[in-house]
């Protein structure tokens, strides 16, 4: 299981996924909407994920 | 994946170009593009005095950081202007970030608040009319930015608008049928009244996502909270639409803006007068007898 954390909303969930792209598609998110941070490092969408990884999603849009 | 230029891990895949970038090469690419844009568009001249509008969000913080880098290449003066609209639970956070990062960059700043200048906060206007918040906010913010930049004898006013913002505005102005605003462009402010400080947007061809990555990658201090009024704005829907289009066809945002830029000179000629008058109440430039700022303030 991968732990996914939405940084702006401070919400998190667990999901089964082999790479970042799969997280995006399973959660119906667009690549334009978030920057993915795996275990503290910014990563591309094709970055692979393994059990115990934490994936933080940083919202791109800043209303203001 | 590895960087297309070296063996380090990539932090970003630029779908539009098919390139992978590691942190260092992403920085180099980003800074180069910025410097080239400023040079080619001749946005800032030697020894000029530039006002930079800083909100404390990632766009304006990135802009201030890059302008500071530009100052190492040739001399020009720079002062930051921070507008405090009076949005409780939000602006105080971004304000703190702005002050902290500007102090670190050693850029002097001026804080102008709605409360001091208009005797009202944005919150006080919008208690019953949240849908209107962004237009009130925008009109009064631009009014103050222009006035302050002029008082500081600045000849340019730089803002952090990015490619996403610009594309959204093109569509929104068109959907509202606001052809005057649609036809303005940046040159408007230069040609139409000498009371307007010329506006420049050095980041307008940068994707918002790339700016976020740049700000994170360089550990810039910025605040990423969302304004409580943002949810009421039409911009959010247009943003989603453009993000979806970009996902389906990368370079959509770029094509939208560069296509618009090509027709802008013609729009300018057709719809924008040669000069405009001054507001009867406050003397600021306006197309009508009374400027939008004064109308909103009920003067
Ligand atoms: S979201 Fe609207 S109200 Fe909030 S700062 Fe931006 S323009 Fe102003
Ligand atoms: Zn590299
Ligand atoms: Zn006025």
Q: Which residues of A touch B216 (CB under 8 A)?
A: 35, 37, 42, 58
How many A×B Cβ pairs under 8 Å?
78
Give the pLDDT confidence score for residue B184 in this predicted structure.
Answer: 87
pLDDT of A64 strictly over 60: no
What CA–CA distances, in Å, run from A13 to A4, A30, A59, B6, B233? 5, 18, 16, 35, 29
| C-beta of residue B215 within 8 angstroms of C-beta of residue B54 | no
Give the pLDDT confidence score for residue B192 in this predicted structure.
Answer: 75
Give the pLDDT confidence score for residue A25 in this predicted structure.
Answer: 96
Fold exhibited by the domain B41-296: Rossmann fold (3.40.50)
Give the pLDDT confidence score for residue A24 in this predicted structure.
Answer: 97
What is the set of domains in chain A, with CATH numbers?
2-59 (3.10.20.30)
Give the pLDDT confidence score for residue B128 in this predicted structure.
Answer: 63
Q: In the 8-state DSSP scheme, what is residue B160?
A: -
Residue with tokens 């027709």: B263
What CA–CA distances, in Å, run from A15 to A12, A22, A25, A40, B168? 10, 10, 12, 18, 33
| Residue B126 banded pLDDT, cuts 50, 70, 90 | low
Q: Answer whether A52 touches B (CB < 8 Å).
A: no
- Give the C-alpha separation, B11 to A20, whole Å: 12
Give the pLDDT confidence score for residue B186 in this predicted structure.
Answer: 73
Give the pLDDT confidence score for residue A38 in this predicted structure.
Answer: 98
| C-beta of residue B49 within 8 angstroms of C-beta of residue B240 | no
> Closest Cα of chain B to A15: distance in Å?
22
Ligand 1 in contact with B227 (CB < 6 A)?
yes
Give the pLDDT confidence score for residue B65 in this predicted structure.
Answer: 98
| Residue B230 banded pLDDT, cuts 50, 70, 90 | confident
How high is the mean pLDDT of chain B? 93
- Give the C-alpha separation, A45 to A64, whole Å: 27
Query: pLDDT for B201-212, tens place per residue?
Result: 999 999 999 999
Q: In the 8-state DSSP scheme, what is residue B43?
A: -
| C-beta of residue B264 within 8 angstroms of C-beta of residue B179 | no
Residue of A nearest to B253 (CA): A32
Give the residue-averaged pLDDT of B225-248. Answer: 91
| Cβ contacts of B164 within 8 Å, gap of 6 or more | A61, B207, B208, B239, B242, B253
Give the residue-averaged pLDDT of B139-165. Answer: 96
The structural domains of chain B, with segments of one domain joined by +, span 1-39, 41-296
Q: Do A32 and B90 touch (CB under 8 A)?
A: no
Q: ipTM for the complex? A: 0.96
In terms of Cβ atoms closer than 10 Å to its own Cβ (0-12, 13-18, 19+), residue A29 is middle
Query: pLDDT for A5-57, tens place per residue?
Result: 999 989 999 999 999 999 999 999 999 999 999 999 999 999 999 999 999 99
Classify each residue of B247-275 as buried b or exposed e, where b means 16 or more C-beta atoms within 10 Å of its C-beta.
Answer: eeebebbeebbeebeeebeebeeeebeee
Residue B291 sits at φ, ψ, to 5 deg, of -75, 160
Residue closest via CA to ligand 1's atom 2 equals B134
| Residue B287 banded pLDDT, cuts 50, 70, 90 | confident
Q: How wide is the angle at C-alpha B140 spanned by C-alphas B98 and B211, nearest 5°?
A: 40
| C-beta of residue A21 within 8 angstroms of C-beta of residue A55 | no
Query: pLDDT for B10-68, tens place per residue?
Result: 999 999 999 999 999 999 999 999 999 999 999 999 999 999 999 999 999 999 999 99
Global pTM value: 0.95
């Amino acid at each position: 299981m991968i732990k996914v954390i939405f940084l702006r909303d401070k919400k998190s969930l667990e999901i089964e996924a082999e790479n970042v792209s799969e997280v995006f598609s399973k959660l119906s998110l667009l690549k334009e909407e978030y920057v993915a941070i795996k275990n503290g490092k910014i990563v591309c969408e094709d970055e692979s994920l393994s059990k115990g990884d934490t994936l933080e999603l940083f919202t791109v849009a800043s209303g203001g | 994946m590895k960087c297309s230029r070296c063996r380090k891990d990539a932090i970003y895949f630029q779908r539009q170009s098919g390139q992978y970038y590691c942190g260092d090469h992403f920085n180099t690419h980003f800074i180069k593009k910025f410097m080239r844009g400023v040079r080619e568009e001749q946005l800032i001249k030697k020894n000029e005095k530039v006002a930079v509008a800083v909100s404390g969000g990632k766009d304006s913080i990135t802009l201030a950081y890059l302008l500071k880098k530009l100052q190492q290449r040739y001399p020009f003066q720079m002062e930051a202007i921070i507008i405090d609209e009076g949005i409780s639970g939000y602006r105080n956070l971004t304000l703190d970030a702005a002050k902290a990062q500007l102090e670190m960059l050693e850029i002097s700043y001026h804080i102008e608040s709605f409360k001091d200048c208009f005797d009202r906060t944005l919150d006080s206007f919008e208690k019953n009319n949240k849908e209107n918040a962004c237009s009130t906010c925008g009109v009064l913010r631009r009014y103050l930015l222009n006035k302050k930049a002029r008082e500081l004898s600045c000849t340019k006013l730089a803002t952090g608008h990015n490619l996403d913002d610009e594309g959204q505005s093109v569509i929104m102005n068109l959907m509202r049928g606001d052809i005057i605003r649609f036809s303005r462009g940046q040159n408007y402010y230069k040609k139409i009244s000498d009371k307007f400080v010329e506006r420049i947007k050095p980041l307008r061809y940068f994707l918002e996502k790339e700016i976020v990555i740049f700000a994170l990658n360089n550990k810039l201090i910025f605040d990423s909270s969302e304004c409580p009024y943002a949810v009421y704005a039409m911009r959010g829907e247009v943003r989603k639409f453009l993000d979806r289009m970009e996902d389906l066809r990368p370079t959509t945002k770029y094509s939208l803006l560069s296509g618009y830029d090509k027709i802008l000179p013609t729009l300018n000629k057709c719809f924008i007068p040669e000069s405009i008058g001054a507001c009867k109440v406050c003397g600021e430039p306006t197309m009508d007898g009374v400027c939008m700022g004064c109308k909103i303030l009920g003067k």
